[in-house]
A and B are shown apart, each in its own frame.
Chain A
């Protein structure tokens, strides 16, 4: 087939001798992106597109260290209340507007004050933005904020052209103008998003494709068939069950990284009437549930062993994982003993809601079988996702199988779920000590102090278990064997610097 392709190419170029082929990279995404505006965007695939379209103040390494992007250096004041950043010289936006401290100020203002902005909560700590000089910006904070750099390495730190933002308002999403390595060409909803190389990019030499096309193909089998047929060069989120077959194919290769997120069972312990059952009221029942589950079995049965078993908000590979609580081995006797101690020697009946997709339902069926042997009889209630979300938020559930995509800073995986009144604290958990520890970890810039606070919080949370963690998904990319230089990042993004394709 490659020969046939080459012949066709040779024929085509025989007619236009000397012409250079414009190289296009076609990437298959699992979903269609939402609004292409960093301040409004909320989807994972949207972030993948932004990575080629919009530069951020800072970026991360695969080990989650913060590295320069549009900011070349930064300085924290000793009290942790001011952050001064030196900005990169010679950067222009896709519309020719110059990038400078004024542009950063305009961007932070938009993220904080655009009514539709989804970035407000990520930047609440910033109370003042000062343009020190053309290439220096200073942020004043309400209180020290350990999470700020991580926020600035994602959508909250993406810089859009202030000229374009002022001119187009909310319509910015229809024609986004940033300063990334590729600029926006067109978007056909549910069909494609096309970007082209931005010649004036500050690091243009590192980017080797003339155009990048993102194609949303939701069905995993079809996405892979497109790669095999040569209609895609690369895809994200290969199904774990397809990994073996792709590895056996010489024309393809895979890359993978354990994600920052998790899948878990959120238990209603204090969110309305449905919390009033043995599961919601007695931590021993939740402990019994947790110890009745063999997390490796879930991984083997549903994900062919490709994913990572887990029991905390961060994967075991994370520097924030508390090794004092390793992933528990399954112990049915211990589970029964805990139930008996709680006064439920005959077992308990619980209802767990789960999204109505085959994979999550399969996960719950495996859990159901294992918990059943320990006397925890689970009825599975499959719901369409929007309904599941609304019921969970309203407290109309006993337990809910949901996940979290994960954040670079540990705070993002735990604070809003476990603190009293937290934005996503759907389990209704409240513990003053945990609140104090997690709030404290947020305002310290000292890694050792923070780690101590998270470990202390896990001492409590591992007993209370408002969330029973099950596993951590692994991002799996599949691509043509001719792709070189791709680095897998735990945030699941596709960074194209240094990536080449030899056909």
Chain B
């Protein structure tokens, strides 16, 4: 297992280098001049020239890339053109927020999605299956921003149960932090729950029709044992795949949800950075989420091997 993880980590290195090249070149291809955006309404040519020089925007792109990657390897991701804050510090500020939101959303999604999928596969063709499918389909179809605004209007404005938006660090006030995150996590979680439910259902359906399940039942095992111990465990591989992919996506930021609930996470940061052509911030975050994504994939591969011993020999 250790050798496997080591191999995967080695393969990750060229992937990360590729990501860095892509991020860097793609955003240089964007139209728009960061210095012009930075200058705002006052456009003093002298200041514009100075800023171009200062942020090395006049250098050839290759030189710019190697300067950036060289600094990045030394742990310096540069400074935000917009606010003068170091990018690394911005990431340090946002990462816990995003991880908390992603984790809470995923917990809500798993708690709703997996049991619903198991149940609807087990009761295939009955009204339970239909209801679960309709609910899942609505979860997928309802846009996050609409659900978010409706929840704010109902739960915060009408009922006054939860704060409408904002964020409190978990370390300052765990309960308050969970309260502010509950609505956004629910909005995000319902969409994911629907996806999870659909995948769980189809995985369970294929497992439930296999021979060993019939054998297990023939042996006289209790239905609950058949379902949870034999069927669900084998159906877990595709569920784990979907879950880690979704978690990776969430780490890149849930832009709309963060915007509506004003959560200072990666999504809002990166969108603002793109609009302001704040290159250093965009590069830093994409690199960071790219690494997180790779790491999540390695975790998923490890999880497969724990769940399914047959995969350990590969």
Say yes or no for A343: interface residue by CB 8 A criterion: no
Query: What residue in chain B is nearest A224 (Cβ atoms)?
Result: B157
Contact with B along A381-406 (1 / 0, CB 8 A): 00011110111010000000000110
B32 near A386: Cβ-Cβ < 8 Å = yes
Say yes or no for A191: interface residue by CB 8 A criterion: yes
Say yes or no for A423: interface residue by CB 8 A criterion: yes
A35 near B83: Cβ-Cβ < 8 Å = yes
User: Nearest Cβ in chain A — how far from B255, in angstroms?
Assistant: 12
A190 near B153: Cβ-Cβ < 8 Å = no
B33 near A216: Cβ-Cβ < 8 Å = no
Say yes or no for B54: interface residue by CB 8 A criterion: yes
B276 near A386: Cβ-Cβ < 8 Å = yes
Say yes or no for A122: interface residue by CB 8 A criterion: yes
B264 near A229: Cβ-Cβ < 8 Å = no
A225 near B157: Cβ-Cβ < 8 Å = yes
Q: Which residues of B contact A391 (CB under 8 A)?
A: 31
Q: Which residues of A contact B85 (CB under 8 A)?
A: 174, 189
In the bound complex, CA of A242 to CA of B221 (Å): 63
B42 near A118: Cβ-Cβ < 8 Å = yes
A226 near B149: Cβ-Cβ < 8 Å = no
With contacts A42-B41, A120-B47, A229-B156 taken as known, whether A222 is within 8 angstroms of B262 at the C-beta atoms is yes
With contacts A170-B84, A385-B275 taken as known, whether A225 is within 8 angstroms of B156 at the C-beta atoms is yes
Q: Which residues of B contact A228 (CB under 8 A)?
A: 157
Q: Which of B41, B167, B261 has the most CB of A within 10 A?
A: B41
B277 near A217: Cβ-Cβ < 8 Å = no
With contacts A190-B264, A215-B166, A222-B165 taken as known, whether A387 is within 8 angstroms of B31 at the C-beta atoms is yes
Contact with A along B79-95 (1 / 0, CB 8 A): 00011110000100110
Query: What residue in chain A is nearest B256 (Cβ atoms)?
Result: A219
A231 near B36: Cβ-Cβ < 8 Å = no
A229 near B164: Cβ-Cβ < 8 Å = yes
Say yes or no for A117: interface residue by CB 8 A criterion: yes
B43 near A191: Cβ-Cβ < 8 Å = no
Q: Which residues of A contact B261 (CB under 8 A)?
A: 222
Q: Which residues of B contact A43 (CB under 8 A)?
A: 40
Q: Which residues of A contact B40 (CB under 8 A)?
A: 42-43, 118
In the bound complex, CA of A230 to CA of B41 (Å): 34
Contact with B along A209-223 (1 / 0, CB 8 A): 000000111110110
| Cβ-defined partner of A35 (8 Å) among B33, B47, B82, B156 | B82
In the bound complex, CA of A32 to CA of B42 (Å): 19
Say yes or no for B234: interface residue by CB 8 A criterion: no
A121 near B44: Cβ-Cβ < 8 Å = yes
Say yes or no for A130: interface residue by CB 8 A criterion: no
Q: Which residues of B contact A424 (CB under 8 A)?
A: 41, 43
Say yes or no for B260: interface residue by CB 8 A criterion: yes
A115 near B50: Cβ-Cβ < 8 Å = yes
Say yes or no for B70: interface residue by CB 8 A criterion: no
Say yes or no for A102: interface residue by CB 8 A criterion: no
Contact with A along B38-57 (1 / 0, CB 8 A): 11111111110011001000
User: Nearest Cβ in chain A — how far from B88, in angstroms?
Assistant: 13
A189 near B83: Cβ-Cβ < 8 Å = yes
With contacts A190-B272, A191-B262, A218-B259 taken as known, whether A404 is within 8 angstroms of B41 at the C-beta atoms is yes
With contacts A120-B47, A217-B165 taken as known, whether A229 is within 8 angstroms of B157 at the C-beta atoms is yes
A229 near B83: Cβ-Cβ < 8 Å = no
| Cβ-defined partner of B166 (8 Å) among A117, A120, A230, A231 | A231
Q: Which residues of B contact A32 (CB under 8 A)?
A: 272
| Cβ-defined partner of A229 (8 Å) among B38, B43, B51, B160 | B160
B149 near A221: Cβ-Cβ < 8 Å = yes
Say yes or no for B199: interface residue by CB 8 A criterion: no
Say yes or no for B176: interface residue by CB 8 A criterion: no
In the bound complex, CA of A2 to CA of B269 (Å): 35
Q: Which residues of B contact A215 (CB under 8 A)?
A: 166, 262
Query: What residue in chain A is nearest B276 (Cβ atoms)?
Result: A386
With contacts A115-B50, A122-B42, A231-B165 taken as known, whether A34 is within 8 angstroms of B82 at the C-beta atoms is yes
Contact with A along B240-265 (1 / 0, CB 8 A): 00000000000000000001111010
New A-B pairs, 12, CB < 8 Å, besides A42-B40, A189-B90, A222-B152: A32-B272, A35-B82, A42-B38, A115-B47, A118-B47, A120-B44, A188-B93, A190-B269, A225-B164, A386-B30, A393-B36, A423-B43
A-B pairs with beta carbons under 8 Å apart, 26 shown: A1-B160, A4-B160, A34-B83, A42-B41, A116-B51, A118-B44, A120-B44, A120-B46, A174-B84, A190-B272, A191-B264, A217-B262, A219-B262, A225-B149, A225-B152, A225-B165, A226-B156, A229-B157, A229-B160, A384-B275, A386-B34, A387-B32, A389-B36, A393-B36, A423-B43, A423-B44
Q: Which residues of A contact B (CB under 8 A)?
A: 1, 4, 32, 34-35, 37, 40, 42-43, 115-118, 120-122, 170-171, 173-174, 188-192, 215-219, 221-222, 225-226, 228-231, 384-387, 389-391, 393, 404-405, 423-424
Q: Which residues of B contact A (CB under 8 A)?
A: 30-34, 36-47, 50-51, 54, 82-85, 90, 93-94, 149, 152-153, 156-157, 160, 163-167, 259-262, 264, 268-269, 272, 275-277
